[in-house]
Amino acid sequence: MELLFLALFSLHILKTEAVVGSHWCYRSQKCEHPECEDPHQWHLTDAACNGDRQSPINIVTRNVVYDKSLKPLTFEGYDGKGSSKWNVENNGHTVKVTLDASPKVGGGGLARKYKAVEFHLHWGVPSLQQSSPGVQQYIPGSEHSIDGEKYAMELHLVHIREDVPNVAEAKKYKDGLAVLAFFIKVDEENKNYAALLNELENIQYKGLSAQMDPLPLSSLLPPKEELGRYYRYEGSLTTPDCFEGVIWTIFEMPIELSLPQLSQFAALHFDGKNSTHMIENFRPIQPLNQRKVSWSSASIVLPPAKLLLLLLTLTYFLSSPSQ
């Protein structure tokens, strides 16, 4: 009898440890893995996920604070291809592309330079089905939102302080990471993404990876002259361990991809063959709490072309004879 009791008690302990130590997942994976911890339970895997400086957030534009120090960022090495191949991986949560850490970003209110180490994406449920001619349907999957409105996807370009060797070391500092976030909207086909999208066929399942020739990072982003408009706040990583030491820059100008291009991401799988398709891999909005969201000074500066047009118009009216 005592042996039976000890056996049952041991099973209970093992089961409890399994639940506490179970792997985190997205809500879309719960049907296949009901034991995994979805975003509302991530604090059970990492206590930091229950912190008060978490990401993503909803940016309420009427509440943002104009900050004149937020000038356009400086991008170093973004126009070059780099010397090392990119590693494209299905890590069971997203598509992660590891870089060679040569591109850097600075300025724009950042106290130091940060080097790019990887980028990944979050998306919803792209669908090629059309409810009516000319109408494309999809469920948005960006993590951040603007006034409650989400985009189809979101690209996160992760940087670490240039004086540290890796992400683990960067996490020892309260300003260890800087993430540049870009919304992705459904529009025209973006040929600059063709090489990356071609590799998705080789990483259909968790754990698979492929090598691809490096691209200029700038080719995957909006034009540089459009990157002066952005929001800034202090937050966290959007997946466990939910490290709170991330400086977020959310750009207003979105990237464009076609719906068929978006659908290629949703053809991936969270796990092995016949597993759930990788959809809705985003974290829900987190409370802003006492934080503030700043708005870049470039947001109110006229672009050069419009400024020139304004000057020419004023010159014309000033030089015209009075009627």
Say which residue the tokens 């070059």 belong to: 80
Neighbouring residues of 251: CB distance < 8 A, sequence distance ≥ 6: 180, 181, 182, 183, 222, 227, 229, 230
**Do 289 and 59 form a contact (C-beta atoms < 8 A)?**
no
Say whether 120 is catalytic.
Answer: no
Q: Please state, as a whole number, how many other Cβ atoms lie within 10 Å of the Cβ of residue 70.
A: 23
**Do 224 and 96 form a contact (C-beta atoms < 8 A)?**
no
Phi, psi of 311 (to 5 degrees): -65, -40
> ∠18-207-160 over CA atoms, to 5°?
90
Q: Where are the alpha helices (DSSP H) in 207-303?
A: 259-266
Largest CA-CA distance found in the chain, in angstroms, rounded = 110
Give residue 157's Cα distance to chain centre: 7
Return d(Cα 114, Cα 107) in angstroms, integer.
10
Q: Which of 101, 108, 83, 142 minimizes the C-alpha distance to 284?
A: 142
In eight-state DSSP terms, residue 12 is H
**Do 198 and 88 form a contact (C-beta atoms < 8 A)?**
no
Q: Where are the alpha helices (DSSP H) in the chain?
A: 2-20, 167-170, 194-199, 259-266, 304-319
Find the catalytic residue in 93, 122, 156, 159: 93
Return d(Cα 141, Cα 314) in angstroms, integer.
45
Q: Which amino acid is present at 143?
A: E
Say which residue the tokens 């950042």 belong to: 110
Catalytic residues: 93
